[in-house]
Chain A
């Protein structure tokens, strides 16, 4: 896998390893994973890595305490992103926006397969459309800013980790490219 692909993969793994709080809804006793011990007593609120939270949720043992991202959040981001005409007007994304959005769309797909609901299908189509439009607009602004160091400084604080990976990679490539094509003068 190339460098940018590896960095994105690393971000995805970090997201899956990040702890979240879950509410245990069924007594399950003690489990030990990777040396870490978890006591799953009904009614307890514990912190587990996201990947484990997903498994526990699938098993019907625990539910995440925090509400995940949904169409309302994507809509809000879509509105503000599409309003931004310059890098200065761009707003930072909520934490883990891309990962959460992908996860939300994936979950919708599962539900659609299971319950065949037209409004869910519509919701999913909208979420996909909005996400692609958000990516497209933010990408345009990143590309706009890449040519000036001042713009890069302006925009980098507003980018998500995934976007920063892209920005840094583009910056590096551009530097190599410029260096290669710049005339080399021999000092007298």
Chain B
């Protein structure tokens, strides 16, 4: 039996120690932890035994340290030991199988950025985001060769010999192990060889770990056998593996090597936001902060304190950062908890600064601009590796921010084809891709906080929201809250703003946030992780009453404009939950429901106002046209139809249409606009000059 020399005095028999570890290790409750896991492994038909590094460390510190220093050799012998134990437990299960000891939870995480030459050949634990995966391939571990020579004829043999496996490169045997001859032809028989699943992934540093102004680092990781397809792009993973090197494929300088990791174990981070470390001291500070009756005000005031005013928008951003509670119904339908916020504003109203601040304090914040983002960059892309020609699936910003916040600035400047990519991510919270033979669905449970400029440079109050912003209504309707920032001169307010800005420039140290950004980030992370507030009957009743009352108003108005829909009702619930989360409360009370209603009313009164009737009309956002206008359009269409029937030419003259419309109180401007729209949409055509007919 092979032994490993640890140091001069001590020799550890790895195989025997592992055998003993699996058979005799008892946990704190006195249970034979690994004997039980082994039985479970056999029952489930698995071939990997998961070992907690801490247990091994407690069992034999030297062996555990040796495992980190010389993982290949130790793991090879550990696998043999595992096979021995399986053989003693269930001899028939062993036949022809390959067993693995998988090590999890090393006591120390090596930051990806700090991987250096000293780690080569050592066992490390890395954390990051899986950004690319190749399709699963098959790798030969035991090759079957056929050797044919004139003297001996043809015979088959397995290569390499017992106890060894094929490395990264398949080398032809120097001599035939059966006849001992090196002459003749050696032919590989792939389908008779022993193959295991193989996959290459790319692990990237988490965005929050990347130092400002630097590019995220990444490393290739090779997965074998039962580790393939365990995780998908966008997943936050922890990988235990051995650091190895391969020739730098780009340069032909053979002395330069790239590092990669041969994975021993891969674990998908189950809890979102685990990466923000909250120590016991932090928890104490967070709880103390939550006890403050003014905590919500303090949080809102801590969002971009250098920006004057904009209390409602800051409150909306704060609520979006905390988010509501996602729910999964028994039939598997997921109701999102994320609150999407859109800010439409005149230039110079600090939208970008707000967004950048939000991305900075969000536990998983990503900031991007509309011009700098493409559909693939936001969702997912299939890319081809230049050197190997392999196809990879690479996760985009919304997938990388899964469980966090994506701040998209200048959303109106995005190309239409890029913008539609966020439709699915915003409501279904997934990103589906079907390109180059790769079909996948990735998680994108991301809160979107977006900002854009009005279409005409400044927000025109006499136009509707949909007219004012270059965004399709399909996206507009997905936002829970939309705010309009108008830059209007107001002497008193302007003086206060000027004083604030001057103070920021004069004594910047005075503009301190109420809560330090670092603590606020932890506070938000803590709330998102642990707080799941439930609606109290009183709060539910209040929201219900508000909804019913708003709907009743719709029936009373002469135009029948719909003030609120079920989408806003869901948004109200999310807002109330987020408001409760802000104070780390486990119950959504009347106070929270009131705050949500107030914010929703502000939103509806600014963004959802029908400028013609002066009433709230949700259709302004949901369809881009207020109900009053929709009715006028229907009426114009009816006029055209009736004129067309009456006229011998079979079309309606513009003069006639205008005359009849005027008789019904419809202005000529609206008729002309409607005709342009009907023609653009293919509903009406110009049969002869100035004469219109309906397309049938």
Within 8 A of B (CB), among A95-127: 95, 117, 119, 123, 126
Segment from A75-83, A145-153, A173-181 that makes contact with B: A75-83
CB-CB nearest in chain A for B281: A95
The total of chain B residues at the interface (CB under 8 A) is 13
Query: Please, how many angstroms separate the alpha-carbon atoms of A72 and B28 in the complex?
Result: 11
Within 8 A of B (CB), among A70-90: 71-72, 75-76, 78-80, 82-83
**B107 A75 Cβ-Cβ under 8 A:** yes
Bound Cα distance from A83 to B110, whole angstroms: 13
- Decide if A95 touches B107 in the complex (CB within 8 Å): no
Complexed CA–CA distance, A79 and B52 (Å) = 14
Is A34 in contact with chain B by the CB < 8 A criterion?
no
Min CB distance, A90 to chain B, in Å? Answer: 13
Q: How far does the Cβ of B288 sit from chain A's closest Cβ, in whole Å? A: 10
B26: contacting residue among A71, A78, A82, A119, CB under 8 A: A119
Expressed in whole angstroms, the minimum distance between the Cβ of A78 and any Cβ of chain B is 8
Q: Is the CB of B108 within 8 A of A123?
A: no
B280 touches A66 (CB 8 A): yes
Across the interface, which residues of B come within 8 angstroms of A126, CB to CB?
58
Which of B26, B108, B279, B280 is close to A79, meaning CB atoms less than 8 Å apart?
A: B108
Point out the residues of chain B lying under 8 angstroms from A75, CB to CB.
Answer: 54, 57-58, 107
Complex alpha-carbon distance, A117 and B30, angstroms: 9
Asked if residues B54 and A72 are in contact (CB atoms below 8 Å), the reply is yes
How many A-B residue pairs have C-beta atoms within 8 angstroms? Tell me.
30
Contact call B107/A79, Cβ cutoff below 8 A: yes
Are B108 and A95 neighbours in the complex by a CB distance under 8 Å? no
Structural contact, B107 and A80, CB atoms closer than 8 A: yes
Which residues of B in the span 97-130 have a Cβ within 8 Å of any Cβ on A?
107-108
1/0 per residue B26-57: CB within 8 Å of A?
Answer: 10101000000000000000000000001001
- Cα distance A8–B107 when bound, in Å? 29
- Nearest chain-B residue to A18 (Cβ)? B284
**Which of chain A's residues have a CB closer than 8 A to the CB of B28?**
71, 119, 123
Interchain CA distance A130-B317 in the complex, whole Å: 48
Q: A95-B279, A95-B281, A119-B26 are in contact. Are A76 and B107 (CB under 8 A)?
A: yes
**Bound: A162/B663 CA distance, A:** 91
- Residues 582-612 of B, flagged 1 when their CB comes within 8 A of A and 0 if not, give 0000000000000000000000000000000
Which residues of chain B are within 8 angstroms of A76 by Cβ–Cβ distance?
Answer: 54, 107
- Chain B residues lying within 8 Å of A78, measured Cβ to Cβ, are 57, 61
Whether A79 pairs with B57 at a CB distance below 8 angstroms is: yes
For the complex, give the distance between the alpha carbons of A114 and B108 in Å: 35
Known contacts A119-B26, A119-B30; is-contact A80 B108 (Cβ 8 Å): yes
**Mask for B41-80, Cβ within 8 A of A = 1, else 0?**
0000000000000100110010001000000000000000
Q: How far is the CB of B599 from chain A (nearest CB, A)?
A: 31
Question: How distant is the Cα of A71 from the Cα of B28 in the complex, in angstroms?
Answer: 10
User: Which chain A residues (24-76) contact chain B, with CB distance < 8 Å?
Assistant: 66, 71-72, 75-76
Give the chain A neighbours of B58 by CB distance below 8 A: 71, 75, 126
B240 to A: closest C-beta gap in Å: 14
Expressed in whole angstroms, the Cα–Cα distance for A83 and B30 within the complex equals: 30
Interface string of B8-39 (1 = CB under 8 A from A): 00000000000000000010101000000000
- Expressed in whole angstroms, the Cα–Cα distance for A121 and B86 within the complex equals 30
List residues of chain B with CB within 8 A of the CB of A80.
107-108
Minimum Cβ distance to chain A for residue B372 (Å):
38
For the complex formed, measure the closest distance between the CB of A150 and the CB atoms of chain B, giving whole angstroms: 21
Quick one: closest B residue to A127, CB to CB? B58
* Distance between Cα atoms of A34 and B58 in the complex (Å): 43
Q: Shortest beta-carbon distance, B568 to chain A, in Å?
A: 37
| A95 CA / B280 CA spacing, docked (Å) | 8
Measured between alpha carbons, how far is A79 from B61 in the docked complex, in Å? Answer: 9
Interface residue from B57, B108, B281 paired with A83 (Cβ < 8 Å): B108
In the bound assembly, the distance between CA atoms of A79 and B124 in angstroms comes to 13
The CA-CA distance from A109 to B61 in the complex, in Å, is 23
Give the distance in Å from the alpha carbon of A123 to the alpha carbon of B59 in the complex. 10
Report Cα–Cα, A79/B68, bound state, in Å.
11
Chain B residues with Cβ below 8 Å from A71 are 28, 58
List, in ascending order, chain A residues with CB within 8 A of B54's CB: 72, 75-76
Q: How many angstroms between the C-alpha atoms of A123 and B58 in the bound complex?
A: 9
**For the complex, what is the distance from the CA of A75 to the CA of B107, rounded to whole Å?**
8
Residue interface bits B172-197, CB-to-A below 8 A is 1, else 0: 00000000000000000000000000
In the complex formed, the residue of A with least CB distance to B30 is A119
Q: A75-B107, A123-B28 are in contact. List 13 more A-B contacts (CB 8 A).
A: A66-B280, A71-B58, A75-B57, A79-B107, A79-B108, A80-B108, A94-B279, A95-B279, A95-B280, A95-B281, A117-B30, A119-B28, A126-B58
Q: Can you list 28 residue pairs at the A/B interface with Cβ under 8 Å? A: A66-B280, A71-B28, A71-B58, A72-B54, A75-B54, A75-B58, A75-B107, A76-B54, A76-B107, A78-B57, A79-B57, A79-B107, A79-B108, A80-B107, A80-B108, A82-B65, A83-B108, A94-B279, A94-B280, A95-B279, A95-B280, A95-B281, A117-B30, A119-B26, A119-B28, A119-B30, A123-B28, A126-B58
